Structure 1
Amino acid sequence: MAWRKGLVGRGPLGPRHITRTSKRRLRLSHTISEERLQPGSAREQVCEAPALPPSLAQRLRHWQWRRNRVGQAGAAVYRLHKPAPNQQDLYLKQGRGEVAEALFDEAARLRWLGQALPTNQLLGFEWDGEEAWLLSAAVPGRSAYECLRQRPEQAAEIAQALGAFLARLHALPIEACAFNAQLPIRLAQARRRLEAGLVDAQDFDADRAGQTAEQVWLQLQALLPMQTELVLTHGDYSLDNILLDEAGEVSGVIDLGRLGVADRYQDLAIAWNCLQEFGSAAQQAFVSAYGIPSPDPHKIALHLCLDEFF
């Protein structure tokens, strides 16, 4: 079997040997941080190494394996630990079909964004045409969500750090980014998912709980058209995808499968919605640190409706 390796090609961004370009974005919602899955945690269980391509099997043969039991969204996620001084943990994502395609997308983005902002370092990617394996280093720090839960009195300061980091991300030049996530593309993807019956209405936010996917689609259409301000977006700037260091600064972002050029409110809306749990002061601190103290409620509503389809 010919294993496909590397991430150099399709310009500087994509795998050299992989030419498939039509891929659905899947949210592989788990947090690759060093603190979330400690040994013995209920979130993981000790396991044997899964079946791997020969090169990965050889490379990882002396590591201890633990499987993530939550938030896998179709992907198997493993934490690899080696009991040695200063040895950083590794993470392996494994999946087939659409999940493999999503891993392809994430691997290309990890390689590209890792040159500009801190994220989990891509250590290897392999795809045999059906199954894919993505190996990366853990990002040090705690998720923003866990920090907010543990230190609610510091919610405003944490939210400020999130806003400042997002402003830094959005200030990166978009000319070199080949990942297009603009509104027409996202709407077309959402429509295809709706028609294929892939939208989970049970997972809608509280504002749309009890509605059908078709009803939310009509709400989304009523919010169009919208003027856009294109920036480089994370695509899923939620609290579990942002890591903070001990000083409260952002140490990195993870889960980059939806990164691309899009309207700035793609990220602002998701973070704003996540911060609602921690109060309006945290929300205001976030947008003020970002540089938009009075966010557009129309654009927030549109992007939150759109996000229900992914």
Structure 2
Amino acid sequence: MDVEREHPCPPPSLPSGIAADVAGYAWARDTVGESGGTVHRLHGKTGAPDLFLKYGRGTVANDVTDEMVRLGWLADHSQVPRVRTFLRTPNEAWLLMTAIPGRTAYQMLVAHPDDRPAVVAALSLYLRQLHAIPTAACPFNADHGFRLSQAKARIDAGVVDTDDFDEERTGWTADRVWDAMQALLPMAPDPVVTHGDFSLDNILIEDGAVVGCIDVGRTGIADRYQDLAILWNCLGEFGPALQDRLFSSYGISEPDKRKLDFHLLLDELF
């Protein structure tokens, strides 16, 4: 398993509005969850904190912009990266952020096998706290109707990466995923404030507790299984016992398999 999930690299070409802020740093490129953009970790500058830089072009620039806006809102509810610099042109976006302390949940599960049940308990507690934020306080919609419209646009534009589908859907087309989702509708919503991409690489842990989250561009009001399904799927790499523990720690005795299946299919299209 690749615990670090990043590789050293030279600095990319940068606009002048950011170049001065990142002088003197070593660069590493993140290989996880780039979704068509790039993510770099900037580190090793004496007396300076680590930083992250996200870059997107075209529609991905809109995703980077969405994340910048959501970081500002989430800062009142959870520890998230602080925006240092944001630059936007009609076709490009750069988002420079502070790093959150700690290690990702994925790193913790790999490095400390004996602590895996405690890590899942910490993730469940944090997820319950996130889902308890009053929906009236959240200005962002991410329900399955909205996400379906985005997914259809991505299918029609031919930008769905079918080579990145989960193993059980190897060889599927995007249209087949769409048809499988339609067969699971209608779905009664259970709206909460969701992270939107609650994967093991997006949650930071320190001293046994979740200290914050990253990659929040999809944050918004949606069914709670938007988060539960993605986390449950990630935990499958470490065995079904941890998947079961997720639901028992969260407080669900009988997981809704229909909603699990729907949200995992939906996630394939992004």
TM-score normalised to the size of structure 1? Answer: 0.81
Structure 2 equivalent of residue 75 of structure 1? 37
Structure 1 equivalent of residue 27 of structure 2? 66
How many angstroms apart in 2 are the aligned matches of 1:100 and 1:227? 33
Structure 2 equivalent of residue 236 of structure 1? 197
Structure 1 equivalent of residue 167 of structure 2? 206
Query: What's the offset of the Cα at 1:249?
Result: 0.9
> Could you tell me whether the CA contact under 8 Å between 2:102 and 2:205 is conserved in 1?
yes
Structure 2 equivalent of residue 184 of structure 1? 145
> Could you tell me whether the CA contact under 8 Å between 2:26 and 2:44 is conserved in 1?
no
Alignment of 1:215-294 (within 5 A): 215-245=176-206, 247-294=207-254
How many angstroms apart in 1 are the aligned matches of 2:111 and 2:19? 38
Residues 221, 157 of structure 1: CA spacing in aligned structure 2 closer, same or farther, 3 A cutoff? Answer: same
How many angstroms apart in 2 are the aligned matches of 1:60 and 1:137? 12
> Could you tell me whether the CA contact under 8 Å between 1:163 and 1:286 is conserved in 2?
yes
Structure 2 equivalent of residue 92 of structure 1? 53
Query: Higher helix proportion, which one?
Result: 2
Query: What's the offset of the Cα at 1:80?
Result: 2.5
Structure 1 equivalent of residue 107 of structure 2? 146
Query: What's the offset of the Cα at 1:210?
Result: 2.0
> Match for 2:13: what amino acid?
P
Residues 144, 111 of structure 1: CA spacing in aligned structure 2 closer, same or farther, 3 A cutoff? Answer: same
How many angstroms apart in 2 are the aligned matches of 1:49 and 1:206? 33
> Could you tell me whether the CA contact under 8 Å between 1:287 and 1:293 is conserved in 2?
yes
How many angstroms apart in 1 are the aligned matches of 2:87 and 2:127? 30
Out of 44, 51, 57, the position equivalent to 2:19 is 57
Q: Does 1:303 align with 2:266?
A: no
Question: What are the superposed Cα offsets for residues 39-90 of structure 1, whole Å, 9 maximum, x if unpaired?
Answer: xxx6122x24632243x334334x32414162344323333335334x3111
Residues 284, 205 of structure 1: CA spacing in aligned structure 2 closer, same or farther, 3 A cutoff? Answer: same
Q: Does 1:159 align with 2:120?
A: yes
TM-score normalised to the size of structure 2? Answer: 0.92
Partner of 1:180: helix, strand, or coil? coil
> Could you tell me whether the CA contact under 8 Å between 1:124 and 1:135 is conserved in 2?
yes
Partner of 2:171: helix, strand, or coil? coil
> Could you tell me whether the CA contact under 8 Å between 1:157 and 1:285 is conserved in 2?
no
Query: What's the offset of the Cα at 1:114?
Result: 1.4
> Match for 1:59: what amino acid?
D
Out of 128, 134, 137, the position equivalent to 2:95 is 134
Structure 2 equivalent of residue 114 of structure 1? 75
> Could you tell me whether the CA contact under 8 Å between 2:192 and 2:221 is conserved in 1?
yes
> Could you tell me whether the CA contact under 8 Å between 2:30 and 2:41 is conserved in 1?
no
> Could you tell me whether the CA contact under 8 Å between 1:139 and 1:243 is conserved in 2?
yes
* Runs of 5+ consecutive residues of structure 2 not aligned to the other structure: none
Question: How many residue pairs align between the two structures?
Answer: 267
How many angstroms apart in 2 are the aligned matches of 1:190 and 1:250? 30
* Runs of 5+ consecutive residues of structure 1 not aligned to the other structure: 1-34
Question: What are the superposed Cα offsets for residues 201-249 of structure 1, whole Å, 9 maximum, x if unpaired?
Answer: 221112222222222211111100010110000001011111111x221
% identical aligned pairs: 45
> Could you tell me whether the CA contact under 8 Å between 1:235 and 1:258 is conserved in 2?
yes
How many angstroms apart in 2 are the aligned matches of 1:207 and 1:230? 28
How many angstroms apart in 1 are the aligned matches of 2:228 and 2:192? 12
Out of 139, 157, 171, the position equivalent to 2:132 is 171
Query: What's the offset of the Cα at 1:278?
Result: 1.2
